[in-house]
Each structure stands twice: as C-alpha cells, then as structure tokens.
Amino acid sequence: MTPTLYLTRNGLLEPLGQSQVLAYLRGLSRDHRITLITREKDEDWADAESVARVRAECLALGIDWRPRPFRPRPRFIAPALDLISMTHEVWRAARDGRAQLVHARSYIPAAVAWVVWRMTGVPFIFDMRALWPEELITAGRLQRGSWLYRRIVAVERACLRDAAGVVSLTQAAVAHLHKVYPAEMASQRVTVIPTCADLERFLPRAPVPPAPRVYGCIGTVLSGWFRLDWLAAFIAAAAERDGTAQFDIVTRDDAVQVRAALDPDGALGARLTIGPRAPADMPAAVAGHDVSVMFYAGGEVSELGRSPTRMAEVLGTAIPVVANAGVGDVARIVQDHRVGVLATGPETMTQTLDELDHLLADADLPARCRAAAEAVFSLEAGTRDYRALYAEILAPAPQNDLR
C-alpha cells in the first residue's frame, strides 16, 4: 500500500469533513496507507462521543488521523502560523517515508504541499475545491490587486504549474483557468470531480401523506457568498402564497442572526425553524423537506468553481432544488435533468413559485432527481476518479528501450 498524506483545514468532525473527506477516504484507504491531517474546531472537539466514533472508524480503515486545533484568529496571522506548522508536519512525514503522494485539499494545504515538493520531490495533488481568491473577493474579505491577493494568486499559479494533478469541482472552472493560466494549464493533468454524496445514505424518501409543504435550506447562509436577500424574498413569497408552508434552515450559523434576516417582524414564528443537525442526522433532515433552496452569488468569477454539497445530497434524496444560474455547473444540471427551477432575482419569486408548483405536479420528478444524483454526484464515481488519478501519478515512469 502506498503511503499517502491527505491535508485539509476542514475538520473531520464537521459535516463537510464527513461527507467530502472521510467519505472518499473510505474507498481510497483500501489501496493507500493514509495519514490524514485535519484542523478541528473547538466546539466539534468538545463532543467526546463524536471524537471517539470518528477515531474508531479511522482505526478500522487503517487511517492515521492526526487532528490539530483550528485557529481562525488573528485573521491573517492564524492561517500563516497554520501554514508553517503544517509544513513542518508534512516535511517530517515525507522525510520519514510516510508520504509518497500528498493530497492537498484547497489552497493553504496546497501551498504547504508545494513547499514540501520543492524540498523533497514528493508529488502533490492540488484539489482546488473552488476558486478561493475570487470567493474571498465576492465575500468582501479580500481586495483585488492587494498585496495579499497577489500572494494568493502567486500560490495558485505555482500550484497549477507544478502539481502532479489538479482536481476541479466544475467544468466551468477549468475553462476559466485555461483562459487565465494558459501556459500553466497547457500540459496539466486535470480531473473534474463534482462534490459527491454518499447515495447509500442519502436515499429517496418514502412517499409521505399530504401535509404542509416544507421548504428547506442546508448549510451556511451567512458566509458572504450566499444570497440571503434572495432566500428572504423566496420565503416571504412562499409564506404569503401558502399560510401552512413551513421553512427549515439547517445550518450551524447563528440562529438569531439568520432569523433576523429572514423573518425580521417575527411573523413566521414556529413555521420557521433554524438550527444544526449532527452529520448522522443529515439524511433524515433532508428527507424532511419537499424542496431545497440554494442561492449563491452567481455571475461572479468566484462561483464558476462552486459545486454545492447540498445539491448532491438533496437530489440523492429525490427532492428538487430552487437555485440560480451562474454557479458552477448548477444551471446546466438543473436544466439538462429537469430537477429544479432557476430563480432570476428577488423580485421574480412569485414566478419562481409558479414554475415550482408546475414541476412538483410531475410524477416522474423524484425519479429524475435520483437519476441525476447518480449520474453526476455518485460517491462511487468520485472515488473511482480519485483512485485513477492516484494510480496515474504513482505509476513508474516508462523506461527507455536502449536496444
């Protein structure tokens, strides 16, 4: 088995760590001896039962899990210190023979992997996840042309040039990268692996008796790149149309802030619920919705690289989506598979609901949603593509025939 190092600043105890890190590593650990370095948030680490459960699963899979604390502040100093400490940890692993390949999930781990590659020659995968510098600009957390922006772009360019392989979430992002970095991308090995879902967990829900319609929304809505005003407009229009409709926001965001944005007058009361779910409870939470709503800051360059995890899980549960165009490959998937409605602005939510009512009357809709999930977001397909990329990078170089 090939010793492989997997780096991520996401926590394995987070929902994302469960669905987008451990889910893949379950399959990859059959062929690779994986050391997994993560950054865990204090509130997740405080859940001793979850920590014990994840430790036991990693042990059973042969994964050497090395969690470290996640420190978000001071704002710029904490990531810099994390980069230094992670670099030292990865360099030691490479030096000791515990890494013949480094899989770097997102930009800071990729910068670490690049530095270690320069020192040791151990190849690395730049698993981009999204166009991070553009996301920071869209969220108002970074200014284009600033010193920090130029440094992040320099890292992006170096990693795209020198990585043994690049993974993108969307075809749209790959097309953008070829325009911006034609030389670096010309001979680069690129694999597109959308955000996948474990479709053995997110199963089509059983038929439900007539009941008030539940509109759901999953994940952060206070990130800065989620269109909270669109969600508020949608909820207001749906509540006015149907006095029995319910709304469930499944998020780890601050519930007080979310409620203030979505129901400032308190008119919805108990019809609006806001709160987190444990990773093990997410399939049941999604299955409790009739429709899932997701609005991102579409139209920005940042959104070309986005592949919402929630979309994979929702479609796997055979539930349609209400989304917006300009977000990765979302519009193409919705239109090609006829699994949702695309809103065009806060002022058009009444028309969006008209289209949604028409779509929900289609008896074949649940089957199409599930089929789309299996075709685009299958965890098995994603794991297979990762395994193939690993094998291609680690394959011995062909020997020249000197006869």
| Structural contact between residues 181 and 157, judged by C-beta atoms closer than 8 angstroms | yes
Higher pLDDT, 299 or 161: 161
Residue in this structure with the two tokens 């209400």, named with its chain if needed = 322
CA–CA gap between residue 108 and residue 133 (Å, rounded): 11
- Min mean pLDDT across 34-38, 72-76, 129-133 is at 72-76
Q: Residues 6 or more apart from 24 whose CB is under 8 A from it? A: 196, 379, 382, 383, 386
The pLDDT tens digits of the residues spanning 254-265 come to 999 999 999 999
User: 109: cis peptide before it, omega within 30°?
Assistant: no
Entry pTM: 0.78
The predicted model gives 119-133 an average pLDDT of: 93
The pLDDT tens digits of the residues spanning 314-366 come to 999 999 999 999 888 899 999 999 999 999 999 999 999 999 999 999 999 99
pLDDT at position 19: 84
| Structural contact between residues 38 and 58, judged by C-beta atoms closer than 8 angstroms | no
What is the phi-psi region of residue 129: left when phi exceeds 0, alpha when psi lies from -120 to 50, beta otherwise? left
pLDDT at position 16: 84
Handedness of CA 196, 201, 202, 204 (dihedral sign): positive
The pLDDT tens digits of the residues spanning 242-300 come to 999 999 999 999 999 999 999 999 999 999 999 999 888 999 999 999 999 999 876 67
What is the phi-psi region of residue 292: left when phi exceeds 0, alpha when psi lies from -120 to 50, beta otherwise? beta
pLDDT at position 394: 93
399 pLDDT band (50/70/90 cuts)?
A: low
73 pLDDT band (50/70/90 cuts)?
A: confident
Residue in this structure with the two tokens 């992670």, named with its chain if needed = 86
Residue 359 CA: distances (Å) to CA of 9, 16, 319, 363, 366: 39, 30, 11, 9, 10
CA–CA gap between residue 87 and residue 136 (Å, rounded): 23
Complete domains list, the chain, with CATH:
2-196+379-394 (3.40.50.2000), 214-376 (3.40.50.2000)
CA–CA gap between residue 358 and residue 184 (Å, rounded): 47
367 pLDDT band (50/70/90 cuts)?
A: very high
